[in-house]
Chain A
Amino acid sequence: MADDLKEQKPAGKGVALIDGVLKEVKNLKDKALDDVQSLKKPQKTQLFKSIFRVTHDEKPRNRALGILSNVFLHLHPAKINRDAVAYNYTWGMGGITFYLFIVLTFTGVLLMFYYHPTKVQAFRDILYLEHDVPFGKLLRNMHRWAAHLMIITVWLHMFRVFLTGSYKKPREFNWMVGVILMLLTMLLSFTGYLLPDDQLGFWAVTVGTNMARATPLLGHEGPLGPELGMTAFNDVRFALLGGSIVDSNALLRAYIWHCIAIPLIAGIFMAVHFWRVRKDGGISGPAPVMLESEIKKPRRF
């Protein structure tokens, strides 16, 4: 007995071990197969579900959820006027303007890596960008032309909004927000103009800020300015330039307005603008035409 046992035990132990290992291997193989299977259906993985929260199949409900549960896309409603998706109503101008703003932010941040807002370095940095930085010239060109294009598209957007009467009730306020956005867009371009610190920017900004001398009440050459104690060293122009001439302080101020303050303010106004487009009932049209005979009496107080 003792011998039998002695002989069998190691063998039994060995077989059981191998069996166990085989079982474990099969188990692992099954799991691996499962993983491979899951690669074929990525939408079923925990990773995918945790990121997207809804499956992306073609059910209307899931298409809607795909928009609503995404932080970037939820600016959109889930559904929209069937005629508003055609290009001819909005000309896509608001969207293009916003897209250009994003392009400008992106290229602008890249430019900031190479640019120092000082009289000694600014102009050299531009030369360096143009001649040594890989794709530096393309970067600068894209930033420049996107800025010009944005001015054009913002004007066209306003033109479209006017032609479709989209500023009428209930969108009056959003039109005002828009006018401020247009002003900010132009100020962004203008402050950027000085940054290369070349003759073009210097004289443009000199001409532009010279007008500020003549601000009524607040400029030292404006009507009633001197009477209020304005001099070249305390008026609005001085505040804009950080001095009485366009020099290093003006460069620094233009830089900070251009790269930080105005983009931030414009970003906030854009958030309000888009929010209000939604809250005012989405895009205004194309709406059914109204007839003269259907005008209601105006409400009087």
Chain B
Amino acid sequence: MDWVQLWEITTLPDNVPIVLLILVIPFYTWYGLRQAFANDRLIDRLEADPEMAKTHHRKTQPWKPGWAREVQVWPYLLRMEFLVAIIVTFILMVWSITLDAPLEEPANPSLTMNPAKAPWYFLGLQEMLVYFDPWMAGVVLPTLILVGLMVIPYMDTNPLGNGYYTYKQRKFAIWAFFFGFIVLWLSMVVIGTFIRGPGWIWFWPGQTWDHNKLIFEANRDLPDMFGITSMLGKSLFGGAVVGLFALVTALGVHKLFTWNAFNRKIYNRMSLIQYVLLQFFLVTMMLLPAKMVARLIFRIKYVWVTPWFNI
């Protein structure tokens, strides 16, 4: 174990924010889910007792008849905002006094940095470059991530859970988001930061970076493994494999999406366009883990080879 190097990577000034992120994401996940579960228990009680549902104020926060439902912004909200601003300023001050922003040598095009890493919040994209060609990893997938995020409100036809934390009423949505945000996006950022070393080679945390290490990866294309040599054959075969993957994934998504009676009820509320959109974005999202497995475990570079593009 090379603790020194691990420490050096972790305390690299520009990496300190990720350490913060790694602490803060689990905290807020817990903080949000705790309230979700509290609300879920309340929902259970209200569903079991329709009389109670008629009179209850339906929140986990305390409430007594006669209490005003609204409070004045001054002072109740403004004092909170003021307090938060002071705390944030304080944290920022301490951070800025104790840790200096990095400054390397002057820019020098003839002296390549190895590894040349993007800022940490883009390392997810840079890590995707391992699995996809630049036009996919750098342009198409980021665009799809943004568009996919934007259409979430228009695909999610579940009317429950609007304005309160809940897990029970939105299981599929929450799992899908956790998978995309935490499992894919954040773990790619962490891999890019802590695991990728010189030459963007995989070094386990604590494994010493070897700047002379070269891996002669016997990466192959899937069609070659099946002995397909003609370009037409490769194009058709790859297209078929990707199509099959999409079909199987879509079926799996469908299975999960219609898992129980409640889910089927939501499914029935969807228009055709909404459902097709949902499938498109989820299947595209699953391309990434599929390609990661293909690449990291089976050493497959491309699945689909054509004269114009490779996937």
Which A positions have Cβ atoms within 8 angstroms of B? 60, 63-64, 66-67, 73, 76-88, 91-92, 95-96, 99-100, 103, 123, 126-127, 130, 137-138, 140-146, 148-149, 151-152, 155-156, 158-160, 162-169, 171-172, 175-176, 179, 183, 186, 189-190, 193, 196-204, 206-208, 210-216, 219, 221-224, 245-246, 284-293, 295-296, 298
A-B contact count (CB 8 A): 287
Contacting residues, chain A, for B70 (C-beta < 8 A): 79-82
Contacting residues, chain A, for B72 (C-beta < 8 A): 60, 63-64, 78-80
Nearest-CB distance from A282 to chain B (Å)? Answer: 10
Partner of B24, one of A86, A138, A156, A200: A156
Partner of B163, one of A103, A130, A137, A284: A284
Check A163 against B153 for contact (C-beta < 8 Å).
Answer: no
CB-nearest residue of chain B relative to A186? B121
Q: Does B140 belong to the interface (CB within 8 Å)?
A: yes
Check B153 against A82 for contact (C-beta < 8 Å).
Answer: no
CA distance A293 to B169 in the complex (A): 12
Check A221 against B134 for contact (C-beta < 8 Å).
Answer: yes
Q: How large, as a class, is the contact surface on chain B?
A: 35 or more
Partner of A291, one of B47, B61, B308: B47
Nearest-CB distance from A151 to chain B (Å)? Answer: 5
Which B positions have Cβ atoms within 8 angstroms of A? 14, 17, 20-21, 24-25, 28, 31-32, 35-36, 39, 42-43, 46-47, 53, 57-59, 61, 67-78, 80-81, 84-85, 88-89, 92-93, 95-97, 99-109, 111-113, 116-119, 121-122, 125-126, 129, 133-135, 137-140, 146, 149-150, 152-154, 156-166, 169-170, 173-174, 177, 181, 262, 265, 269, 308-309
CB-nearest residue of chain A relative to B309? A223
- Chain B interface mostly: helix
Contacting residues, chain A, for B25 (C-beta < 8 A): 156, 159
30 inter-chain pairs at a CB distance below 8 angstroms, sorted by A residue, are A80-B76, A84-B77, A85-B77, A91-B28, A92-B81, A95-B84, A149-B20, A151-B121, A152-B24, A156-B25, A156-B28, A168-B161, A175-B150, A198-B104, A199-B107, A200-B102, A200-B113, A203-B116, A211-B138, A216-B140, A219-B135, A223-B309, A286-B163, A288-B57, A288-B59, A289-B164, A289-B166, A290-B169, A292-B169, A292-B262
